[in-house]
Amino acid sequence: MKTLIFGHGKIGDRLITQLKSDYLILKRTETSLPSYAKQVTCDYSEAIPEEAKDYDPDLIIFFPKTNGTTAIDYYQGYLTQIMSIYDLFPRAKKVFISSTRVYGGQTGQVDEETIPEPADEQGEIIKKYEDIILSKSNSTVLRLGGIISEESNYIKSGLIKFSSGEQDNKYINAIHIKDVVSLLLNIIENSKAQPLVNGVMPELMTYSQINIGDSAKNPTNAGVKSLHYNSMDCFQYKSPKDLL
């Protein structure tokens, strides 16, 4: 199998050690990779390099990378090459990483059947990106919550801020990076993968549910659930409590 990865990063580093394939990896900075992974240093948002155009991959994994936080940065990172990818690689299976930011304008519990209501222009751009992909065949959108790793755990800092009154009560829409890789492998190896999957821990909790002694108002954000990938057996980290 031949795999082309756009925007390779920490998730990609872990994935390529578990998915048997040859790889062509597009990323902005050069790093050390295994011998079966060839690297092209580039900014894919400016142009898809010739090495990639000639690669003829069986699988494409697209990790959107932005150069900043503005709407223009998001447009360039998410949208500039989407149609080119479909034109250049029609036969490849495609997995596109997205974000639960598309639910930014909502409260209450949501899932893949909920129509997203973004809260800002950046969220609208992500929704447009998803809509394009969902109109195509042989493609999956993996909509990830906040990623937790051994080096970074926003749940701990969020809990401290909530307890001190610096942060409102919120749903914790998170997933550990190890479970992201497991979910990706499940999608890649499943010939009948769902076109849209929310990637979040199966147990949904709020900060007030963890700090039971704290009184709190209703959560100010949406609580994201998955209809298609929610079995406790599939997750190493099943609940926010597992990450404290």
Q: Where are the domains of the chain?
A: 2-149+174-203+223-235
pLDDT, tens digit, 9 for 90 and up, residues 125-140: 999 999 999 999 999 9
Distance CA 200, CA 147 (A): 9
| CA triple 127-77-223, angle to 5 deg | 40
Per-chain mean pLDDT for the chain: 94
Task: Quickly count: other Cβ atoms within 10 Å of residue 102's Cβ.
Answer: 28
pLDDT, tens digit, 9 for 90 and up, residues 9-57: 999 999 999 999 999 999 999 989 999 999 999 999 999 999 999 999 9
* CATH number of this structure's domain 2-149+174-203+223-235: 3.40.50.720
Distance of CA 219 to the CA centre of its chain: 23
Judged by phi (left if over 0) then psi (alpha if -120 to 50, else beta), residue 147 lies in beta
Residue pair 118/78 in contact by the 8 Å Cβ criterion: no
Give residue 177's pLDDT.
97
Cβ-in-10-Å burial (0-12, 13-18, 19+) of 98 comes to: buried
Burial profile 158-183: b = 16 or more Cβ within 10 angstroms, e = fewer: bbeebeeeeeebbbbbbbbbebbbbb
Q: What is the mean pLDDT of residues 151-177?
A: 91
Query: Amino acid identity of 75?
Result: Y
pTM: 0.95
Task: Quickly count: other Cβ atoms within 10 Å of residue 134's Cβ.
Answer: 13
Residue pair 13/39 in contact by the 8 Å Cβ criterion: no
Helix (H) or strand (E) holding 135: none
Give residue 213's pLDDT.
58
Give residue 191's pLDDT.
78
- For the CA atoms of the chain, what is the radius of gyration? 18
Residue 211 clears pLDDT 90, i.e. is over it: no
